[in-house]
Structure 1
Amino acid sequence: MRERIRRLEELPDPALAITGFFAEVLYRTLNDPLNRGCLLVNSALETNAEDADLRQAVSEELETIRSFFESRLRAFSLQRAVATGIDAKQGAHHLLSVLLGIRVLARINPDPACVTDAIGIALTSLGLPPLARCDTQ
């Protein structure tokens, strides 16, 4: 995950960094024949109050992702002078929630339409570029 974030942060277009992140997640989600989901999300679902170390580790990873979304949204707003009515922190919370939701759904039934629609609405609601059609296949 950290390698993906580092690679995407190097893109000159911060909006494409976020869309690219979700395109990769979508590809992995729809092309996992075992429907394993995501190790981070699976770990989050298994944490409990007695396992403080695991909770801390999961929290740190989720914060890394949230921070990536927030920094890219801030850069996007500055670069494009886009006013979406949603600040970068709120947008990052929304994108993180969508990410976690689709990864949980992937464990049960990775319905391509459900996952693609959820991502697409999240991106367009923030003024970000949509997923390319080839990314969903």
Structure 2
Amino acid sequence: MNEEKLAEKNALDIKARLYCGAEIAMGPGKASLLEAIGREGSISAAGRALGMSYRRTWMLVDTMNRCWATPLVETAAGGTQGGGARLTDLGHEILDRYRALEQRLVEAARDENWDILKAAMLMEPKQSQKG
């Protein structure tokens, strides 16, 4: 295995997940969904753009809306004018702050602490603890 492949295998991958009880209130996938809703103007169109099923998309939005003080996504019923969805003010703020938190985590991966951890970590696990 070449050195680049080895370096990729020994990489820091930090993902921020904010929990509301046992539910994930915000994580990388939900942030991407919020961005897609903002871009597409529809929950179902956002799901299609992300390759998610209609049901899964709506379940994620429902979870987010139940986990925050007020909903992050606001919907309008369909009809002749068509339906749609948009991020609420809180939805925009949560998305912006979550993305800022993610950026801080990316910066942490460049920190000397990561270098120390990386130097002590094996490239592959041992076959057993005795080895």
In terms of fraction of residues, the more helix-rich structure is 1
If asked which structure has higher relative contact order (CA below 8 Å, sep 6+), I would say 1
When the two structures are superposed, what TM-score results if normalisation uses the length of structure 1?
0.28
TM-score by length of 2: 0.29
| Higher alpha-carbon Rg | 2
